[in-house]
Structure 1
Amino acid sequence: MEIRNDQDWKQDLPAFREKTAAFYAGELSKDAYKGFSGLYGSYAQKGGKASMLRLRMTGGCVSKEKLKFIADTIRKYEVKKAHFTTCQTIQLHDLDGSIVADIMEQAMDAGIITMGGGGDFPRNVTCSPLSGVEKDEYFDVLPWAKAAGEYLMGFIRAEKMPRKLKVAFSSSPSNLSHATYRDLGFAARPDGSFDVYSAGGLGNNPRFGVLVAEAVKPEDICYYIKAMWLTFRAYGNYENRGKARSRYMQESLGGAENYKKAFLEKLEEVYDSGEDLKIHPVLQTIEKAGDGITVSGERVLEQKQPGLYSVIWHPVGGQPNLTVLCKLSDALQEMDGVEMRLAPDETAYIINLTGEETKKVLAITENNTAKTEFEASVSCIGASVCQVGVRDSQALLQACVKAVREADLPKDALPKIHISGCPSSCGTHQTGAMGFRGAAKKVDGKAESAFLLFLNGCDVQGKEKMGEELGTILESQIPDFLVTLGKTVAEAGESFAEWNAKNPQGVKETAAPFIGVE
């Protein structure tokens, strides 16, 4: 594989500048530009009047230096919108086409690479967001995730790649990174090794991953990454874009066992080649000491490092107020050893804080964060921005949060919901406790904006489950449905989780009148 340093990628920028100028001049079609620009981590937004740029953050790690670059960019170019994604990246939106390449080049100087952020390339490697600081984790998987991310950059120019190649690492069965159903996932074990899952993914034809290996030594993970590529080269349907994802190989090869056999054969080829792919990353240590100040609260987590804390910050919809983001960056520059971590549910964690620092971060983010589990719901960027989006998932979430706040429901009366604007499942609606997916519903013979309701999905390792499809609800009716559901739960004097467990038909019964609305 071709290994490049951050500066080497600059040689690709002149071509991007040329094609981008041609697109905005009307000389290049939307589809032609999309097929080109995805390599660079950039797409034209819906309507073709502005661009977005995806900043890769391996494992969701945003150092305070990288955060400063983002804050400086927001101020310099007057960026109006950013998004924390479910693949642990940061997207900048509504960018004038003339500045995208400039930001891209300046990002490289700050150690942020956008290449391969879209298109048929390895995507951002995801990881348990609190790896290294969480008390109940099996072990710190982040150094291995970072090493995998660096190795995968060498596949940017590889031929016959799947349409997306998503690799994930999880440090505990909470499985926040969905390692058990990515294209390739490394799930930590208590003994310090990994179980390896492959050929999973959400969207059309969803599949949980196949357990292809157990108790794998961490230093051997790159052998498995290369075997994944070789397996797809040999058996993937890379000629049909609709099926050019690894999960389709489970079906085409005749089932999970046959897929496992094919994968292990390619793994053996990699080992037999004699290529040395063992890695030995520098394991991280956190030597920072606390200041003796004790802090507690719903948005405060104690780290396994005595006296240090992490603060939870979840802007509704994963869309931070950029004034708050910049102010947070300014504050972090004065703190030693701190970092922001992005989670696959669009939460940001600010880690390695002393008690006094925790208080400062809490104060900065207080008015720009979810107040309940429901307000911390997940939403993709939606059809107002995304070219392939069907429905505006962000607008739906905002409407639902507004209605629920006005109803003054108990904070635990509704679950976290997951909203995807289209079948691609960027909002992970298929494995959420409750999910919605953009659709249409006929009213008086006319198609109206609607969402398909999913229930009881689960992403916990060993309990993975796809949600059951209950039916389609008009978008305009969904806030009323959720308020009605929340009131029903509140009247029972229970949390949603308790009520749902005791009343397995309860959500269906509450949803029935809304599903039936025509």
Structure 2
Amino acid sequence: MQLDESHAELKSKMQEYLAGEASATDLKHASAPLGVYQQRNDQFMARLRITGGHLTLADLRTVAGVITSNGIGYAHLTTRQDIQLQDVPAEQVCDVVQTCNGKGLPFRGGGGNTFRNIAASPASGIGADSLFDVMPYAKSLNDLILGWDKAFQLPRKLKIGFYDSPSEELAAAVQDLGFAAKVVDGKPGFKVYGGGGMGRESAVGVTLFDFLPAYLVPKCALAMTELFYDHGNRENRNQARIRFIVKRLGEGRFVELFQEYFAEADPQVALFPGWELDLTQELAALQSSPGEAPDNADYRNWLARAVSPTRFDDDVVTVRVFVPGGDLLAAQLGSLAELAEKCGGSFLRLTPAQDVLVPLVRRDSLPSVYRFLKTAFPETDVLLDSLVGHVVTCVGSTVCKIGILNSPAAGEAVARSLDDMLAKRPELGPAAATRVVDCIRVSGCPNSCAGHPIARVGLQGQKARIGQAMEPVYQVFARPGDALAISEPVGGLVKEPDIAGTVRELILAQLK
């Protein structure tokens, strides 16, 4: 189905739904492939695809304007680097979809049995350990796959990711198709994983190529799309992801089958990657706004938590803006665009931790950046003064129609306990707060939207019979060190009131 047809079907079904002539289930068949889902409050969530989390300032301002003009509640940053527009009135859904798509911000593939938003390292090409910039490959592949009809007629979702440093190889390994940057004889390429994933029966993927030259990425992606289209389970939704093909065939036969598809694949691409970002030009455009550094512990703590080095000279750093709950109002989106503009940047990056990365900042501008954030966000903790709001969770059962437990509430309880722990252990240092944020993921159901299966400490919400009643409980998972493996269950089910203490002990062990 072409894009215009998808929009027309959504408009028709929404009109029927508003007139009482179609059910919510009928509407979902048309809305899900465009990333539009009904919330528990009967308003809607509309998920924008933001490839690799790379967001121009113009895009950011477009989103802010759409929120304001359509009476939308807020923007939610996801763990897959999308933007979800939450609390969209039903009457505004179609206008929002059309407006954003017309501005180059598509919804197609935001949900349903389609290829989903392509993930990428937030500091790609910029971080101190970056092998090379993978963002051009993510952006170019996204543009290419949007033209493949089969990518929108799959048995289930297809997730692809690109990662630019060895420290992120596990993230690549749990994609349906994951690309981990690798350089051989000075030439860029990727170690390629297939059939990984999180959710029901989470799994690390199998190695498809130890080294794939970068120009062959489209051929690889087309092969996997065709294989999935032909061999995915269309009868049982719970067995439909690519990892279940691996399970059914065995790793060896799956790799053989993939290689057969790879040999036949011809994506007919003249130039790849076709999208580029001139980081040299971005560096030249950076602005300095020197200011006197505050002589206080709050500022020094912020430096330790939010500022990271880059692969450029010591004068250029990245700044992480911590976003409580991943939620931002329209005015706050505008403030972030203003901040990046003041620094001389043309883009921001969304992170899997539901935060925002200002990727290029002159070090002498840090005092000004700090003051701007304190002024622009007076009632929102974007500096990580507390862990409350910053433990990464899914939206939970109060918003999501398939959620089981209120994961943000569990995240808050965990955060308060860990705030207390860090206050009593000053020897751990201020940067420990960032390490804690990056350690924990809380999902309110087995769907793993928060990414708990690869967290150092992960929580999965569920209901279990305890005595005569069904009680809210969490299964705790842990992953030691840098193992390229799925996190393992730790102990039995933990009652909701006891979860903060359990996590506290596990985190303390991680920080030692």
Q: Which residue of 1 aligns with 2:323?
A: 315
Counterpart CA distance in 1 for 2:319 and 2:168 is: 20
Match of 2:300 in 1: none
| CA displacement 1:407-461 (0-9 Å, x = unmatched) | 6444648843111111111111111111111111334411112211112267x5x
From 17, 26, 45, the equivalent of 1:52 is 45
Contact 1:338 1:353 in 2 (8 A): no
Please say if 1:221 is aligned against 2:242: no
The share of aligned pairs that are identical, in percent, is 27
1:13 and 2:27 are equivalent in the alignment: no
1:460-481 residue CA offsets vs partner (Å, 9 max, x unmatched):
5x63332224221122222344
Q: Tell me the residue number matched to 2:230.
A: 234
Q: Distance in 2 between matches of 1:172 and 1:155?
A: 29
Structure 1 position 207, deviation (Å): 1.4
Of the candidates 449, 454, 457, which is equivalent to residue 477 of structure 2?
A: 454
Q: Which moved more, 1:302-311 or 1:224-233?
A: 302-311
Tell me what 1:261 maps to: 256
- Equivalent residues in 2 for 1:321-336 (5 A)? 322-336=330-344
TM-score w.r.t. length of structure 2: 0.86
Match of 1:39 among 28, 33, 38: 33
Corresponding residue for residue 377 of structure 2: none
Secondary structure in 1 matching 2:40: coil
5+ long unaligned stretches in structure 1: 490-494, 500-518
Q: 1:167 aligned to 2:157?
A: no
Q: Distance in 1 between matches of 2:204 and 2:169?
A: 14
Q: Give the equivalent residue in structure 2 for 1:251.
A: 247
Does structure 1 residue 378 correspond to structure 2 residue 392?
yes
Secondary structure at 1:497's aligned position in 2? helix
Q: CA deviation at 1:259?
A: 0.8
Q: TM-score, normalised by structure 1?
A: 0.85
Runs of 4+, deviation exceeding 6 Å: 372-375
Q: Structure 1 pair 170/159, CA: closer, same or farther in 2 (3 Å)?
A: closer
Q: 1:131-170 residue pairs with structure 2 within 5 A?
A: 131-156=124-149, 158=151, 160-170=153-163
Contact 1:338–1:350 (8 Å) recurs in 2 = no
Q: Mapping of 1:51-200 within 5 angstroms?
A: 51-156=44-149, 158=151, 160-175=153-168, 178-191=171-184, 192-200=188-196
Gapped runs of 5+ residues in structure 2?
294-302, 375-379
Task: Give the number of the structure whose residues are more often helix, by fraction.
Answer: 2
Specify the SS of the correspondent of 2:178: strand
C-alpha distance 41-156 of structure 1, shift in aligned 2 (>3 A) = farther
Q: Which residue of 1 aligns with 2:499?
A: 478
Distance 1:133 1:245, change over 3 A: same
**2:410 aligned residue (375, 396, 400):** 396
Give the paired residue count. 479
Q: CA deviation at 1:74?
A: 2.7
Shift of 1:223: 0.5
| Mapped partners of 1:109, 1:324: distance in 2 | 23
Displacement of 1:160 after TM fit?
4.8
Report SS of the residue matched to 2:129.
Answer: coil
Aligned: 1:436 with 2:459:
yes
Work out whether residues 222 and 277 of structure 1, in 8 Å CA contact, stay in contact via their aligned partners in 2. no
Partner secondary structure for residue 147 of structure 2? helix
Q: Distance in 2 between matches of 1:354 and 1:78?
A: 37
When residues 108 and 321 of structure 1 are mapped into structure 2, their CA distance, relative to the original with a 3 A threshold, is closer
Partner residue of 1:353? 361
Does 302-311 or 209-218 show the bigger shift? 302-311
Provide closer, same or farther for how the CA distance between residues 406 and 194 of structure 1 changes in structure 2, counting only shifts above 3 A: closer
Alpha-carbon distance change, 266 to 300 in structure 1, aligned in 2, over 3 angstroms: same
Structure 1's 445 and 339: CA in aligned 2 closer, same or farther, altered over 3 A? Answer: same
Partners of 1:159 and 1:319 in 2: CA distance? 29
Could you say if the C-alpha distance between residues 79 and 405 of structure 1 is closer, same or farther in structure 2, counting changes exceeding 3 Å? farther
Match of residue 346 from structure 2:
338
For residues 169 and 213 of structure 2, the distance between their equivalents in structure 1, rounded to whole angstroms, comes to: 22
CA offsets 1:156-188 (integer angstroms, 9 cap, x no match):
555751310100001011217811121101110
Q: Could you say if the C-alpha distance between residues 251 and 314 of structure 1 is closer, same or farther in structure 2, counting changes exceeding 3 Å?
A: same
Provide the secondary structure at the position in 2 that maps to 1:239.
coil
Q: Deviations over 1:70-110 (max 9, x none)?
A: 22223323433321111110111111111122121221232
Compare 196-205 and 352-361 and name the one that shifted more. Answer: 352-361
Structure 1 range deviating more: 354-363 or 13-22: 354-363
CA gap of 1:282–1:97, structure 2 versus 1, over 3 A, is: closer
Q: Distance in 2 between matches of 1:242 and 1:417?
A: 26
1:394 Cα deviation after fit = 1.6
Indicate which of 258, 265, 269 corresponds to 1:270. 265
Do the aligned partners of residues 361 and 18 (structure 1) sit closer, same or farther apart at CA in structure 2, a change above 3 Å counting? farther
Deviation at 1:375, TM superposition (A): 6.2
Change (3 A) 1:223 1:345: same
Matched, 1:426 2:426: no
The question of whether the paired residues in 2 share the 8 Å contact of 1:177 and 1:344 is answered with no
| CA distance in structure 1 between the partners assigned to 2:190 and 2:245 by the alignment | 23
CA distance in 1, matches of 2:337, 2:102: 18
Matched AA of 2:182: R
Q: 1:478 to 1:353 in 2, by over 3 A?
A: same
Contact 1:131 1:137 in 2 (8 A): yes
Report the counterpart of residue 487 of structure 2 in structure 1. Answer: 466
State the alpha-carbon separation in 2 of the partners of residues 477 and 26 from structure 1. Answer: 45
Contact 1:318 1:379 (8 Å CA) reproduced: no
Which stretch shifts more, 373-382 or 441-450?
Answer: 373-382
Please identify, of 290-299 and 49-58, the stretch whose mean Cα deviation from structure 2 is larger: 290-299
